[in-house]
C-alpha cells in the first residue's frame, strides 16, 4: 500500500490523540471508583447525611477541579433519576462516561481505517451508497468528488449504528492484527451487555434488574482496555508503528479535513 506521507503523519497525530483520550478516560474512571470508596467512609458514621451533602464533601477532597465540576453537575441529576445511593450514581456516571468514550473512539478509528485504506472498503461503501447518479452526472462530476461524497455518506451513517455493529465491522478489517498483552479485547457479548446497561440507564424509566454493583467499574475499565487494543490494531492496519503513537505527547485537535479524504 502506498500512502501519502502527509496523510500518514496526520493519521499518527489523530491516533496519538485517541490514545491520550483513552488514558484520560481510564484515569477518570479510576478516580470515580476511588471516590466511591471515599463516599462510603464519609457515610459510614453519618447515615443521616444526604446524598448531595456527601457529594459536597467529596468535592472538597483532593480531586481535580474539572472532575469536581463534573461531579456537581451530574451526580444530583443521576442520583434523583436513576440511583438509590451515591455509589450507584458514580458507577452510573462511570458507565456513561466510558460508553461515550467508546462511541467516539470507534467513529474516529473507523474513519482512519476507511480513509487510509480506501481500497479495502470500496465494496462496502459502494453497497451502502444512497446517492443515485444520472448518466449526465457521471459525465460531468469529477470521479474523485463522487468517491469522497460516497465515503462521507458511509462514515456519517456509521455514527448512528449500534456500537456492537461498528465494533464488529472494524474488527473484520483490523482484527487480524493482534494487540499487545497490555490490552484486552472484549467479545461481542460483553459489549452488548455494556451497551444495554447504558441504554437502560439513559432511555428507560425502570431500572429493575440493572446491575450497578462493583462489577460496573471493572466493566468500564475493560472497555478502556478494549479501545486500547483497537487503537493498536488500527495503527498496524494503516501501517503506522505503534511506538510512534505511544511514545509521543498528544497534540491539539486534528480535524477530519487534516486527513486525506481518499487515497488514489
pLDDT digits (tens, 9 = 90+) for 65-96: 665 565 556 554 444 333 346 677 788 888 99
For the record, the C-alpha cell of 201 comes out as 440507564
Note whether residue 49 is domain-resident: yes
User: Does any domain span residue 227?
Assistant: yes
Give me the number of domains the chain comprises. 1
Q: Domain residues for 160?
A: 5-258
Residues in contact with 175: Cβ distance below 8 Å, sequence separation at least 6, in sequence order: 233
**For residue 213, is it within any domain?**
yes
Percent residues over pLDDT 90 in the chain: 34
Residue 236's pLDDT band, with cuts at 50, 70 and 90, is very high
107 within a domain of the structure (yes/no): yes
The stretch 222-237 carries a mean pLDDT of 95
Q: 264 lies in a domain?
A: no
Residue 106 covered by a domain: yes
- Asked if residue 90 lies in contact with residue 36, where contact means CB atoms within 8 angstroms, the answer is yes
- pLDDT reported for residue 83: 37
Count Cβ neighbours within 10 Å for each residue of 187-206 and write b for 16 or more, e otherwise. eeeebeebbebbebbeeeee
Q: What was the pLDDT predicted at 184?
A: 92
Q: Helices in the chain by DSSP H: which ranges?
A: 5-44, 51-59, 65-82, 86-116, 118-128, 135-140, 143-158, 163-174, 188-203, 215-237, 242-246
Going by the DSSP 8-state scheme, the letter that residue 1 receives in this structure is: -
C-alpha atoms less than 13 angstroms from C-alpha of 16 in its C-beta half-sphere: 20
* pLDDT at position 243: 81
pLDDT digits (tens, 9 = 90+) for 12-52: 999 999 999 999 999 989 888 877 766 555 544 444 445 55
Is residue 100 in some structural domain? yes
Are 31 and 54 contacting, i.e. CB atoms less than 8 angstroms apart? no
Asked if residue 4 lies in contact with residue 115, where contact means CB atoms within 8 angstroms, the answer is no
CA-wise closest residue to 166 among 116, 119, 224, 227: 227
Least confident of 45-54, 154-163, 164-173, 183-192: 45-54
The answer as to whether 263 is a domain residue is no
Q: Which residues contact 20 (CB under 8 A, 6 or more apart)?
A: 250
- The three-point CA angle 232-28-63 to 5° equals 150
Residue found under cell 474512571? 29
Q: Best-predicted range by mean pLDDT among 118-122, 142-146, 198-202, 221-225?
A: 221-225
What pLDDT is attached to residue 135? 47
pLDDT of amino acid 228? 95
Amino acid at each position: 500500500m502506498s500512502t501519502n506521507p502527509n496523510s500518514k503523519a496526520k493519521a499518527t497525530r489523530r491516533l496519538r490523540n485517541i490514545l491520550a483520550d483513552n488514558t484520560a478516560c481510564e484515569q477518570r474512571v479510576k478516580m470515580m471508583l476511588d471516590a466511591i470508596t471515599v463516599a462510603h467512609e464519609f457515610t459510614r458514621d453519618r447515615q443521616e447525611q444526604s446524598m448531595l451533602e456527601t457529594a459536597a464533601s467529596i468535592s472538597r477532597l483532593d480531586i481535580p477541579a474539572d472532575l469536581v465540576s463534573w461531579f456537581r453537575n451530574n451526580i444530583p441529576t443521576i442520583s434523583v433519576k436513576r440511583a438509590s445511593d451515591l455509589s450507584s450514581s458514580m458507577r452510573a456516571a462511570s458507565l456513561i462516561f466510558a460508553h461515550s468514550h467508546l462511541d467516539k473512539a470507534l467513529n474516529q478509528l473507523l474513519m482512519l481505517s476507511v480513509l487510509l485504506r480506501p481500497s479495502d472498503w470500496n465494496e462496502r461503501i459502494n453497497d451502502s451508497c444512497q446517492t443515485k447518479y444520472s448518466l449526465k452526472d457521471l459525465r460531468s462530476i469529477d470521479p474523485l468528488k463522487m468517491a469522497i461524497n460516497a465515503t462521507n455518506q458511509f462514515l456519517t451513517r456509521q455514527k448512528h449504528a449500534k456500537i456492537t455493529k461498528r465494533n464488529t465491522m472494524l474488527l473484520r478489517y483490523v482484527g487480524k492484527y493482534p494487540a499487545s498483552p497490555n490490552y484486552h479485547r472484549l467479545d461481542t457479548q460483553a459489549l452488548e451487555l455494556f451497551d444495554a446497561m447504558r441504554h437502560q440507564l439513559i432511555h428507560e424509566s425502570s431500572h429493575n434488574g440493572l446491575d450497578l454493583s462493583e462489577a460496573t467499574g471493572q466493566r468500564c475499565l475493560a472497555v478502556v482496555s478494549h479501545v486500547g487494543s483497537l487503537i493498536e490494531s488500527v495503527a498496524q492496519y494503516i501501517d503506522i508503528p505503534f511506538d510512534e503513537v505511544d511514545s509521543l505527547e498528544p497534540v491539539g485537535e486534528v480535524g477530519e479535513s487534516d486527513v486525506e479524504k481518499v487515497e488514489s
